[in-house]
Chains A and B, each alone.
Chain A
Amino acid sequence: AQSVTQLDSQVPVFEEAPVELRCNYSSSVSVYLFWYVQYPNQGLQLLLKYLSGSTLVESINGFEAEFNKSQTSFHLRKPSVHISDTAEYFCAVSGSARQLTFGSGTQLTVLP
């Protein structure tokens, strides 16, 4: 069995400030990790993924996440956020089965 914990349900931050959205997981097997983003009234879009190799992964719009096996974490960071980053962010883990297990989500609100 696997589970995902997103500790912060709401994260307000001012424009151009840095942000970190936290994700911790538990699993008895090796995992693949994902961050998805959901803009208002839309479906989920894949933001970035860790499958193997380098533990630091980056997206095309400036987000990055680091897989930390010892701390079982996959936190999402961005050094300078924009208004357009306002959305809900979901961390997800894929373990031994094909299924994804999602966290409860973090609403990022970027304030002007």
Chain B
Amino acid sequence: NAGVTQTPKFQVLKTGQSMTLQCAQDMNHNSMYWYRQDPGMGLRLIYYSASEGTTDKGEVPNGYNVSRLNKREFSLRLESAAPSQTSVYFCASSEGGGRKRNIQYFGAGTRLSVL
């Protein structure tokens, strides 16, 4: 059971470089999410997709873009990386369709360093 798969696991970028973080889920979930985790701040929502074809901003969307490629895949793009984007990024998915079905399942994370 793969669940939520994120690639890559680790990445080092130079300031100004771009990259895309990939996320795929095999649970036939409707909703997908991108979070960043920073020490002492818990997880903060960057973007989410309530269903295929829709995306919405979360708490900290600046400097990021997302694409819901299909029902399985939700990618996060950094167009011009900055040191402030050094963080651990988590993708999550849930059934959606109402709060009772919003139990979120998480990937293992991508550890990104921007020098």
The answer to whether A46 has its CB under 8 Å from any CB of chain B is yes
Interface residues in B3-23 by Cβ distance below 8 A to A read 4
What range describes how many residues of B lie at the interface?
Answer: 20 to 34
Q: Interface stretch among A54-62, A78-86, A101-109?
A: A101-109
- With A9-B40, A98-B31, A104-B41 as known contacts, state yes or no: A45 contacts B106, CB within 8 Å: yes
**Contact size range, A:** 20 to 34
CB atoms of B105 and A46 under 8 A apart? yes
Question: Residue of B at shortest CB range from A97?
Answer: B99
Taking a contact as CB atoms under 8 Å apart, the answer to whether A103 and B102 are in contact is no
The reply to whether A43 and B106 form a contact with Cβ atoms under 8 Å apart is: yes
Q: Which of B69-115 contact A (CB under 8 A)?
A: 90, 92, 94, 96, 99-100, 102-109
User: Contacts of B53 on A, CB cut-off 8 Å?
Assistant: none
B42, B48, B102: which contacts A104 (Cβ < 8 A)? Answer: B42
Complex-state Cα separation, A80 to B55, whole angstroms: 44
Give Cα A49 to B50, complex, Å: 21
Interfacial chain A residues near B58, Cβ < 8 Å? 99
- Complex A-B, nearest 4 residue pairs according to Cβ-Cβ distance, in ascending order: A102-B42, A43-B106, A44-B106, A104-B42
